[in-house]
Amino acid sequence: MQIQALGNYWRGLPGRIRPKRLLFSSVLLALALLLSASRPPTELEALRESGTLVAISRNGPTTYYEGPEGRTGFEYLLLQGFADYLGVELEIREQESLNKMIRQVANGEAHLAAAGLTVTPQRAQTVRFSPTYLKVTQQLLYRRGTLKPETLGELEGELLVIEGSSHAERLQALKAEYPDLHWREQENLEMIDLMEMVHRGEVDYAMVDSNAYQTNSHIFPKARVAFDLGEPENLAWAFAQGQDNSLFAKAQTYLTEIRKDGSLKALVDELFNSPPPVSTGGALLFTHRIDNRLPQWQELIQTVADEVGLDWQLLAAMSYQESHWDPDAVSHTGVRGLMMLTRTTARELGIKNRQDPKQSMRGGALYFKRLYDRLPQRITDPDRTLLALAAYNVGMSHLEDARILTQRHGGNPDIWVDVEQHLPLLAKRKYYRTLSHGYARGWEPVHYVNNILRYRDIIAWHEQQEQRRLAMAEGTDLTPSEQNDEDEAPDESAPEKEKIAPLSIL
């Protein structure tokens, strides 16, 4: 009706007016097109035209690194989500220096920097920050067994911080309150490096963020928190300052949405607030699930193990470690199913549905056997099996890096006990910078293998007890070995872990 009325109005105008109006409208349209053509594209338009979001970050445990399923890490997963949100690809450029990183973003050499950057007044003079996505607390570390300081005024020894960090800014601000306070700044360090140095007694004190401590405290148990410095601080992405808000506004919207829908909290909980490997409670839970979950899957596990040529108890332990025998399990990286297969691995193995228990179990067993067969033929069991388990968790590329490190240090790269000692070094910058595949959470495959061995022992013990009960019910005598092992259940105790408060995104 509005269009018809407009047409009637137009036809009702005097003839001499209509051409003038038509000419005026044409001029306005031409002018608008001319202005549109001459206007430079916004940053968001240019980004979408290029098809690539360029971000600066650091290779490390709380930022991004190469995992067994490809790139991962807290910052990487946030960035990949943002790139997907924009409908573009993600390119990460590495920069180890925090000062250089800030300058590069300010100069427009990348769209943003995402490296666990703390929002500070000094940095805010050079760049602008997105909404916060995580709060962390600065913590002063000391070495367990030495005198624990209560304040900065009680420090007796060397304090080391990362050059250009928010920790250095904080100390500078506190200098007036503590005039005798001294510290040393060093570039190209990660907070995990500082934790190791305190653990080994190479420095007396260091400052780290609470998320870094929480992620790595189990690796360096002698590096302990003496006290927190100040209130929790905000982590955010850094963007160049300017009047073009197109990309910055999209980042604001994206971070707000993932906070509201709970996906940000889920990511923080999975990466930073995960429980420690096999505690006493974890072992007790496992024995409970042997009774109420394993019977549902035992026949399938045994069938697949026989088909592929594996020990069924080992495969059962692997599947529990992967998914707790939950066929609907899904991780933050998208791996899923009883054996937590990646989409790529499933495709290579011809698996159509990763959450189908039969397909998942068979796919995981075949993938493990493939890794087992890829190892040099000179490696024999049990080392061959243990190394293949580590590769299942961390990836064959990172396992090869660990074997190279083992050989460099005079160990035997074909023996698990030697490689096991060197896998955690993949998390330390001084080592992973010399290797082909960079950072890895090298302690995880060590826990992974040891957990599986422990689970397998518990399964074997329970299986033996079940056979014993059946034998007694049938009036059959036990063999001497069964009599000796009757009461030798696996030790389900584990040392208590230091309690650490979960991180907050509020």
Active site residues: 322
263-269 contacts, C-beta under 8 A, 24 or more apart = 263/81, 264/133, 264/505, 265/505, 266/332, 267/74, 267/77, 267/78, 267/332, 268/74, 268/134, 268/503, 268/505, 269/502
> How many Å apart are CA 187 and CA 164, to the nearest integer?
8
CA dihedral sign of residues 353, 359, 361, 362: negative
- For 319-329, give one letter per residue: b (16+ CB within 10 A) or e: bbbbbebbbeb
C-beta atoms surrounding 357 within 10 Å = 21
Amino acid code (one letter) for 501: A
Phi/psi at 208 (5° precision): -140, 170
Longest dimension (CA), the chain: 117
Residues linked to residue 66 through DSSP beta bridges, in sequence order: 71
The answer to whether the Cα torsion of 469, 471, 472, 478 is positive or negative is negative
| Helix residue ranges per DSSP H, 91-209 | 98-106, 121-124, 166-174, 191-200
Q: Which residues pair with 118 in a beta bridge?
A: 235
Helix (H) or strand (E) holding 287: helix 280-292
Residue type, 223: A
The answer for 106, left when phi > 0, alpha when psi is -120 to 50, beta otherwise, is: alpha
Residue type, 248: F
**Residue 3 is inside which H or E element, if any?**
helix 2-12
What does DSSP say about strands 52-57 and 112-113: parallel, antiparallel, or unpaired? parallel
Residues 6+ apart with CB under 8 A from 11: none
Q: Which one, of 201, 169, 202, 198, lies nearest residue 185 by Cα?
A: 169
Residues 6 or more apart in contact with residue 414 via CB below 8 angstroms: 376, 378, 379, 383, 403
Look at the block and give the residue holding tokens 């300081």: 149
Q: Name 210's Cβ contacts closer than 8 Å, sequence gap at least 6.
A: 136, 137, 138, 139, 228, 232, 503
Distance CA 17, CA 250 (A): 46
Cα torsion 257, 259, 265, 267 to 10°: value is 40
Full DSSP string of 427-460: GSHHHHTTSTT----THHHHHHHHHHHHHHHHHH
